[in-house]
Amino acid sequence: MNQVYNFSAGPSMLPEQVMRKMQSELLDYRNMKVSVMEVSHRGQDFMELSQKAEQDLRDLMGIPDNYKVLFLQGGASAQFSMVPINLLRGGSVANYANTGRWSVKAIAEAKRYCDVHICTDSKENSYKDIAEFDSWNIDTNGAYLHYTPNETIDGLEFDYVPEVDMPVVADMSSTILSRPCDVSKFGVIYAGAQKNMGLSGLTVVIVRDDLIGEPVDKQPVLFNYSTQANNQSMYNTPSTFSWYAAGLVFDWIKGLGGLESMANINKEKSQKLYSEIDNSELYSNQVNPKYRSWMNVPFVLADDRLDKLFLEKSYNANLLALKGHKAVGGMRASIYNAMPMEGINALVEFMSDFEKQYG
């Protein structure tokens, strides 16, 4: 079989090395005679594995000691509720930046718990741009500011962290580990694992100690950061195989040289693809170049009657899952850490040939 490149937005491509490692250890994990899928999360082997994964993530991201790292379930979507449940602490207002379709979802859920103050709204520009931070209207009574550093569907990515006098909460699902990040600027960082950290079923939450309060009345016990932190994310059975897989992904990133190296590669990959789009007559991407995502590259064809043919031909060329999100249409290439430069080269070559033939 020729090399296949999978541009799925999530669950997404995994590094081949990571899958080979899983395969080699699948039936007998380190001479335990059983699979890592089949053992207690409280046994010594799993404890060692889970602690090593946490330490590797701490090393990669430079997570300060006054932050807990939680390995939870429920996806980023569960955090849409857990954030207000844990951070409002009697407050009635929270600031939310609306910069794309994932912000919209986070906002809808937060509205069930508090008054959501929209401090900037990209809806006005159809989620193609982010207003200058100076122009944001922050409610100083807000318990926190929530934003989405990378909008997976719309292809917008922040190149800065908003600085405000309240905890900053970031849904980093589709950008975590793709570039260096100063964790000390955040109150909470959360991310589903299925984009840049491995398999679905695992959600990593990085939360500053002082934001972990007493359990909140009348809320599900599992939705309290304190329950999870006090029990090392093992109040109940965690998603063990996804935790193991994330550990392998962290190892793989360390082997590549960490987040600085990842950033250099990701920047180059995305530039190559945007430049193919910008230099063509057939393809276009309307996001303000300053805020174009390094991870998710949506683009449309000048004539949407060619969409079907583009998808058929690209599939036959082993370039998979390029169909855009239904809210946006057109195409989307998700090019997370696991996508190698060769995959970008193959896509760019395909696009250029397709344009010559049909454009």
* Alpha-helical regions (H) of 38-129: 44-61, 75-87, 101-110
State the virtual CA torsion across 339, 342, 347, 348 in degrees, nearest 10. Answer: 120
Tell which residue, 1, 28, 30, 4, has the closest CA to residue 16. Answer: 4
Give residue number: closest CB to ligand PLP: 75
| Residue 10 interacts with ligand PLP (CB under 6 A): yes or no | yes
Closest residue by Cα to residue 144 from 105, 174, 176, 114: 114
Q: What is the smallest separation between the CB atom of 146 and ligand PLP, expressed in angstroms?
A: 11
In 3-state terms, what secondary structure has residue 100? coil
Span of 14-22, 36-44, 69-77, 219-227 interacting with ligand PLP by CB under 6 A: 69-77
Q: Which is nearer to ligand PLP, 162 or 310 (CB)?
A: 162
Q: Is 59 a catalytic residue?
A: no
Least Cα distance to 36 among 200, 228, 245 occurs for 245
Token reading at 26: 């699948």
Does position 293 interact with ligand PLP (CB under 6 A)? The reply is no
Phi, psi of 318 (to 5 degrees): 65, 30
- What is the spatial distance between Cα 359 and Cα 348, in angstroms, rounded to a whole number? 15
Q: Considering 56, 171, 269, 323, which one is annotated as catalytic? A: 171
Chain centroid, CA 256 distance in Å: 19
Residue 171, interface with ligand PLP (CB under 6 A)? Answer: yes
Which among 102, 136, 252, 294 is annotated as catalytic? 102
Whether residue 243 lies in the annotated active site: no
Q: Does the protein bind ligand PLP through residue 75 (CB under 6 A)?
A: yes
Amino acid found at 314 = S
Establish whether 217 is a catalytic residue: no
Instruction: Pick the piece of the chain touching ligand PLP (CB under 6 A) from 55-63, 128-136, 168-176, 247-255.
Output: 168-176
For ligand PLP, the binding residue among 35, 55, 73, 77 (CB under 6 A) is 77
Report in angstroms how near the CB of residue 228 gets to ligand PLP at its nearest.
Answer: 17
Binding interface with ligand PLP (CB under 6 A): 10, 75-77, 102, 148, 152, 171, 173-174, 192, 195
Which residues have a catalytic role annotated?
102, 171, 195
